[in-house]
A and B are shown apart, each in its own frame.
Chain A
Amino acid sequence: MDVVLLLQLLSAALCLCGAEDSRSGWQWSWACKAGRCIKSDYPVSHAYAASRGTSNITRSSQSACRLTCGQYGALWPRPTGPTTIGEQVVTFHPSRIRFDLQEVAASNRGPTEFVAACTQLFLDNLLVECANSVAVNIRAETVYGARHGLETLSQLVARVPAPLAGAGRGRSASRKHLLLMASNVRLSDAPVFRYRGLMLDTARNFLPLYAMKRTLDAMAASKLNVLHWHATDSQSFPLESPRVPQLARRRFGAYSARQVYSPQDVEHLLEYARLRGVRIIMEVDAPSHAGNGWQWGEAAGLGQLAVCVNQQPWRKYCIQPPCGQLNPTNPNLYRVLRDLYRDILDVFPLGEALHMAEIVDWMAARGQGRTQDDFLQLWADYQSTALRTLDEEVGNSNTPIILWSSQLTQPDIIGRFLSKDRYIIQTWVPASSSLPTELLAKGYKVIYSTKDTWYLDHGFWGSTVYHNWRVVYDNRIPRKGGVLGGEACMWSELVDNQSLDMKVWPRTAAMAERLWTDPDSKSTTAEARFYRHRQRLVTRGIKADALAPAYCYQNEGECQ
């Protein structure tokens, strides 16, 4: 399917966005030299700048200079195809943009609605940054490609102080701003890796819906396309299941009555993500990492659904409190799982992948006398029964299943338990580990979550170190068949809504360029564009961490 999107930007007009400086202030200017925006030696007053009119408008703010400076201007992630951004710019008003959706409409109704919604999001993004006639032509094979095109287009826009004095009179008058768009651009673009993910954990600490939506906004801005939702764990089960209300709604799994996700919440989030080019893959952690939420089995006559729940001393049974694992020998467990799967399938789009977790640390927990092999077999039996249950509910065996790497996925034994046609393995090993390549050699598809670069919780506990954006950016994964892509993981023991943004962003955006573009160059080359992208995230309401003194943003290349 071809999606062609035509935009018309009409007639210059003052944009009334932003009004921070008074006319008595001063401003610096920037000039593009050899791909760097160089700050002027001294500032001039706003009044003087205004008297010079519109000449050299790209010099009047750093973001305007950055727009057309260097081969890739202010784009993040960097496009992968031929890209030219000329020096020409035009001013325009966001309310004067027209979208011609005729060619989209030619195909069918769903895509039209999708693209229409995307164009509105695009306008919103322009408005927060805050015209001659310009034509923009975006051609894509899918609506998601078209959405990415709009995202890129929004990055071809910068805000500059209005050069005309007419906007206000007197010293106290506030300053107006103009939106500027690079007007001579030709580029084609496609991602290197098709799976570009971020994992959020809502079980250790609950994340309100608005926090997840904020995260999706930032993912869209960075062209990430998978939100891996680690919804449950042994600490809590906030996911409401109409068929198994005991899990969350009826007191067993949720921290409180309002810290739950209803099916409506999930549906809403799915749609919110879809319009931003992001799919959501649900993970209900099992058979390990399941405790609170599962305690009601015996009282309901179903026997023990989970074992070791909140058992102390926890160090004997699990790696962090509280303990808890599903009881694979209880047939009723699978009845409950069936209901839970049904509820998830009711909400998620047909055929969407499911993450079935599988990190087991129960080896020592129960059943003395069993050997390591017995345990692996028990575990594998659980997995095949759980999968069969899922397939029966779906009605086919096509649902892609993702599993964390574990003892069960060791290269020498994985073939005994897990089919390479069915399972995708998400590896969470250090960059130095050979596990992913061994799995690839055996024909498994792999998602990389390199734990010594893409684990965002590191640095705040134990002997782990924090991976700053340069480390995140410089982590390369092999480009070969079977490598679906990568994923950054935000385990939430030490994060909640208060600090989520600054721990996830802008580092995850650094990974986004690694996965979309996978350039041969290192982070140093990307610095100026990345600083601009961080600013873009902040403008869109994400409290992204600071990367360097503002001096380094303003004086490109001077801090290396």
Chain B
Amino acid sequence: MGFGSSCFQMFVSASAGCLRKLLVALTLLTAGLIAILYYGRLEDLQPSFGSNTLRHCAVDNLWTWECEGQHCVRRESRGARTSLATCRMKCGSVPLWPQPTGVTDLASQSIPFRLKVLRLEVRSSYIRRLLQDAFDVFRSNLENLVPSSCPEEASKEHLHDFLVTLEVRSEDRQPLLKLATNESYQLLLQSAGAAKLRAEIRAQSFFGARHGLETLTQLVWWDDTSLRVLTRAHIIDAPRFAHRGVLLDTARNFLPIRSLRAAVDGLAACKLNTLHWHLSDSQSFPFDAQRLPNMARYGAYSSALVYSARDVAELVEYATVRGVRVVVELDAPAHAGNGWQWGPNLSVCVNQQPWSMFCGEPPCGQLNPDSEELYVVLGELYRDLVALTNVTDVFHVGGDELNLQCWARELRGPLTHEELLAKWAKFQKRVLQLLAGAMGGTLPRAVVLWSSQMTRPHYARMYLDPRVYVIQTWGASAWREAPALLQAGFRVILSHLDAWYLDCGFGDWHGGETGACSPVASWQTIYQHRPWTELVPRNLILGGEACLWGEMVDENSLDAKMWPRAAAFSERMWTDPAIDDATLRDAQVRLAVQRERLVARGIAADAMWPQWCDQNPDKCLEPLDTSHA
């Protein structure tokens, strides 16, 4: 093809029916022609299944790896070969993610095994079924390590028996993750006679035992023709923070349940324990509440893009088995518009223009605090969501970015700034009453509220009770919201937008000059952010959340924007290692392995460096530069 002209003209028109007979004849002729072309083309397509797939299962014998110093070094393979995966497990720091906080004593020997020799023994009085489910997830995660076209090979040195014992000393009949839940575990992996291996996991709760299984997964890898596992391990582990979450937003763009499940799979792999589900916003209301069908009817993007009560309940159950609590946020009183247009005055400023006067991003919309009907609707919604998500001690009531101009203009007034804030405070009080009502009279131990004007020291003291509220601070670290709140006795969850906002840096979606925040937070930025070094008292910091707001992400790019960066965040929350060059170099190599695990579980995580660096990890451990800057 030359750099030739490729202009063309097109003419489409409705023709008269006068040539019908001719057309019928032409149709038959063309149909025949198409059939011939079609089959001809099928043949053309055959080479597309060419060498890439055929070689898929071939043992890759180009390279071998040797442990030198603390790193695996790539060499030409001559005869006996050690795969990269095998080398990693016995060289330098073993690629566990997040790194355990207690004793970590691992053998360097390993042994191959087949999945069918895996057995489970449960030592727990009440939660046998849940432990069985968690074990099934564990087993299927191991299955995912086996390349789809590669059968496991048998050999003489394989294990005959691999017994996993789960012992949970908990009296909970229906275990639910709470802030006070003990998530620690102890894992003891050792030989139990010839060709027999036994992994004992002891924990105080179901959640600890599940984390133990997750760690055990990381002691197993695929080695060319079979799975291998270390022959001995002793690990004692517990998280540094109780609340380790990621926020996903299903209102700006809808995320199908399968995407949310995949996100939970990733959270579980990283021992993150909270999916903060920002369910609704001014753009849409995708929750189809049975008693309030108009909410989704007016609020959802289409009747197919909704979450039924069953969807929510099933996701919560799916997450529980994977050690994850779903915290639903129904944002209010701001960030509520589409979905609320159907009732008498439930909301104000919905889709109002010019939007920049009445809200932070289009479309506008806020709840109407003067509407008694509003509280009836809210009460119904809380009742549904509390029941569906098994709320015990954490509930998120939203509360960010209230636009006072909107209320000043739409509500009966005139109202001063102070009066508007008082109205807002009264709204929050009503919310607490409704929430207590939905929960049978008691409030959850942590009612989470976004930081805002209301949470500034002056108003917080006036309007908010530190025994009830936990404040999720999202301003930049330099805004210093958290120190003041901690001083006033509030518990906090940290989500600094300059470090832990996963949506920053992708530019402006509504056509302005720059995006809301920038740049893209690299995994290193996320990992190195350690705000609590200066914060006291430490015991009021419940934990942190990385936030992936949904304006510029949907199911197509969710994985790549979330992973592996949320994994970097997870080690900060679970292990909280000190920051120095050695830690960072070590983390890079281990995180690259964790990223491979995520990909094996079907998560399309972004790449961290050239594959050459996976194969030569010691030679890439400086900040990566690109030639084409």
> Bound pair: A and B?
yes
CB distance from A394 to the nearest CB of B (A): 16
A81 interface hit (Cβ, 8 Å): yes
CA distance A123 to B35 in the complex (A): 12
User: Which of A204, A349, A549 counts the most B-chain CB atoms under 10 A from its CB?
Assistant: A549
Asked if A262 contacts B297 (CB within 8 A), the reply is: no
B283 interface hit (Cβ, 8 Å): yes
With both beta carbons as reference points, the residue of chain A lying nearest to B84 in the complex is identified as: A256
Given A189-B9, A468-B507, A493-B609, answer yes or no on A549-B252 (Cβ-Cβ < 8 Å). Answer: yes
On chain A, the residues within 8 Å of B9 by CB distance are: 81, 138-140, 149, 187-189
On chain B, the residues within 8 Å of A142 by CB distance are: 4-6
On chain A, the residues within 8 Å of B2 by CB distance are: 351
On chain A, the residues within 8 Å of B283 by CB distance are: 549-551
Q: Which of B1-44 contact A (CB under 8 A)?
A: 1-15, 17, 20, 23, 26-27, 29-31, 33-34, 37-38, 41, 44
Asked if B26 contacts A190 (CB within 8 A), the reply is: no
Which residue from B10, B58, B629 sits with its C-beta under 8 Å from A462? B629
A517 interface hit (Cβ, 8 Å): no
Asked if B7 contacts A140 (CB within 8 A), the reply is: yes
Q: Which of A114-173 contact B (CB under 8 A)?
A: 116-117, 119-120, 123, 132-142, 144-146, 148-149, 152-153, 156
Asked if B6 contacts A90 (CB within 8 A), the reply is: no
A20 interface hit (Cβ, 8 Å): yes
Asked if B8 contacts A145 (CB within 8 A), the reply is: yes
Asked if B13 contacts A184 (CB within 8 A), the reply is: yes
On chain A, the residues within 8 Å of B507 by CB distance are: 466-471
Asked if B10 contacts A552 (CB within 8 A), the reply is: no
B519 interface hit (Cβ, 8 Å): yes
Query: Per-residue CB proximity of A241-262 to B under 8 Å, as 1/0?
Result: 0000000000100111111101
CA distance A46 to B48 in the complex (A): 42
Asked if B13 contacts A149 (CB within 8 A), the reply is: no
User: For this complex, into which size category does the number of interface residues on chain A fall?
Assistant: 35 or more
With both beta carbons as reference points, the residue of chain B lying nearest to A18 in the complex is identified as: B304
CB distance from A422 to the nearest CB of B (A): 15
Asked if B3 contacts A498 (CB within 8 A), the reply is: no
User: For this complex, into which size category does the number of interface residues on chain B fall?
Assistant: 35 or more
Asked if B60 contacts A498 (CB within 8 A), the reply is: no
Asked if B627 contacts A264 (CB within 8 A), the reply is: no
Asked if B56 contacts A256 (CB within 8 A), the reply is: no
B402 interface hit (Cβ, 8 Å): no
Asked if A560 contacts B37 (CB within 8 A), the reply is: no
With both beta carbons as reference points, the residue of chain B lying nearest to A249 in the complex is identified as: B62
On chain B, the residues within 8 Å of A467 by CB distance are: 507
CA distance A480 to B610 in the complex (A): 38
Which residue from A145, A255, A271, A494 sits with its C-beta under 8 Å from B607? A494
- The interface stretch among A22-30, A52-60, A337-345 is A22-30
CB distance from A58 to the nearest CB of B (A): 15
On chain A, the residues within 8 Å of B510 by CB distance are: 548, 552, 559-560
CB distance from A525 to the nearest CB of B (A): 10
On chain B, the residues within 8 Å of A322 by CB distance are: 612, 616, 619
A479 interface hit (Cβ, 8 Å): no
CA distance A544 to B557 in the complex (A): 7
A10 interface hit (Cβ, 8 Å): yes
On chain B, the residues within 8 Å of A262 by CB distance are: 50-51
CB distance from B340 to the nearest CB of A (A): 13
CB distance from A45 to the nearest CB of B (A): 9
Which residue from A42, A186, A188 sits with its C-beta under 8 Å from B7? A188
Given A183-B12, A546-B554, answer yes or no on A462-B52 (Cβ-Cβ < 8 Å). Answer: no
A181 interface hit (Cβ, 8 Å): yes
Asked if B10 contacts A153 (CB within 8 A), the reply is: yes
Given A188-B10, A550-B253, answer yes or no on A465-B518 (Cβ-Cβ < 8 Å). Answer: yes
Asked if B509 contacts A559 (CB within 8 A), the reply is: yes
Asked if B619 contacts A144 (CB within 8 A), the reply is: no
User: Which of A140, A255, A546, A552 counts the most B-chain CB atoms under 10 A from its CB?
Assistant: A546
B116 interface hit (Cβ, 8 Å): no
- The interface stretch among A97-105, A326-334, A368-376, A385-393 is A97-105
Asked if A466 contacts B506 (CB within 8 A), the reply is: yes
Asked if B63 contacts A265 (CB within 8 A), the reply is: no
Query: Per-residue CB proximity of A171-207 to B under 8 Å, as 1/0?
Result: 0000000000111111111110011000000011110
Asked if B41 contacts A120 (CB within 8 A), the reply is: yes
Which residue from A41, A119, A470 sits with its C-beta under 8 Å from B508? A470
On chain A, the residues within 8 Å of B124 by CB distance are: none
On chain B, the residues within 8 Å of A538 by CB distance are: 556
With both beta carbons as reference points, the residue of chain B lying nearest to A187 in the complex is identified as: B10
B583 interface hit (Cβ, 8 Å): no
CB distance from A186 to the nearest CB of B (A): 5
Which residue from B7, B508, B606 sits with its C-beta under 8 Å from A141? B7
A43 interface hit (Cβ, 8 Å): yes
Asked if A498 contacts B560 (CB within 8 A), the reply is: yes
On chain A, the residues within 8 Å of B608 by CB distance are: 494
Given A145-B5, A547-B509, answer yes or no on A257-B624 (Cβ-Cβ < 8 Å). Answer: no
CB distance from B626 to the nearest CB of A (A): 6
- The interface stretch among A272-280, A412-420, A431-439 is A272-280
B61 interface hit (Cβ, 8 Å): yes
B331 interface hit (Cβ, 8 Å): no
On chain A, the residues within 8 Å of B613 by CB distance are: 321
On chain B, the residues within 8 Å of A87 by CB distance are: none
Asked if B252 contacts A258 (CB within 8 A), the reply is: no
Asked if B552 contacts A547 (CB within 8 A), the reply is: yes
Given A236-B612, A314-B619, A495-B607, answer yes or no on A257-B60 (Cβ-Cβ < 8 Å). Answer: yes
Asked if A137 contacts B624 (CB within 8 A), the reply is: no
With both beta carbons as reference points, the residue of chain A lying nearest to B599 in the complex is identified as: A498
Which residue from A208, A255, A527 sits with its C-beta under 8 Å from B611? A255
Asked if B14 contacts A265 (CB within 8 A), the reply is: no
Asked if A546 contacts B51 (CB within 8 A), the reply is: no
CA distance A96 to B1 in the complex (A): 32
Given A209-B52, A470-B507, A545-B553, answer yes or no on A133-B6 (Cβ-Cβ < 8 Å). Answer: no
A377 interface hit (Cβ, 8 Å): no
Given A188-B7, A496-B607, answer yes or no on A546-B50 (Cβ-Cβ < 8 Å). Answer: no
Q: Which of B130-189 contact A (CB under 8 A)?
A: none
Given A42-B298, A145-B5, A264-B51, answer yes or no on A98-B607 (Cβ-Cβ < 8 Å). Answer: no
Query: Per-residue CB proximity of A4-42 to B under 8 Å, as 1/0?
Result: 000010100000000011000111100000000000011
With both beta carbons as reference points, the residue of chain B lying nearest to A291 in the complex is identified as: B612
With both beta carbons as reference points, the residue of chain A lying nearest to B76 in the complex is identified as: A251
A524 interface hit (Cβ, 8 Å): yes
Asked if A428 contacts B509 (CB within 8 A), the reply is: no
User: Which 10 residue pairs across A and B have the least CB separation, nearest first?
Assistant: A468-B507, A190-B7, A25-B303, A98-B30, A140-B8, A499-B560, A235-B612, A502-B557, A145-B8, A551-B283
> Which A residues contact B (CB, under 8 angstroms)?
8, 10, 20-21, 25-28, 41-43, 46, 81, 88, 90, 96, 98-101, 116-117, 119-120, 123, 132-142, 144-146, 148-149, 152-153, 156, 181-191, 194-195, 203-206, 208-210, 213, 225, 235-236, 251, 254-260, 262, 264-265, 267-268, 271-272, 274, 277, 279, 289, 292, 310, 312, 314-315, 318-322, 349, 351, 359, 361, 428, 451, 455, 457, 459-462, 464-471, 484, 489, 491-496, 498-499, 501-503, 523-524, 527, 538, 543-552, 554-555, 558-560
25 A–B pairs (Cβ distance < 8 Å), ordered by A? A88-B14, A99-B33, A153-B12, A181-B12, A185-B10, A188-B9, A189-B9, A191-B6, A206-B611, A235-B611, A251-B62, A251-B63, A257-B62, A264-B50, A268-B47, A457-B628, A468-B515, A491-B626, A527-B511, A544-B557, A549-B509, A550-B253, A559-B510, A559-B511, A560-B511
Contacts beyond the supplied A99-B34, A547-B552: 8 A-B pairs with Cβ under 8 Å: A26-B297, A43-B298, A268-B50, A321-B620, A451-B628, A461-B625, A492-B607, A494-B606
> Which B residues contact A (CB, under 8 angstroms)?
1-15, 17, 20, 23, 26-27, 29-31, 33-34, 37-38, 41, 44, 47-48, 50-52, 55-56, 58, 60-63, 76-77, 251-254, 283-284, 297-298, 301-305, 338, 341-342, 351, 353, 355, 362-363, 505-511, 515, 518-520, 522, 550-554, 556-557, 559-561, 599, 604-613, 615-616, 619-620, 622-629
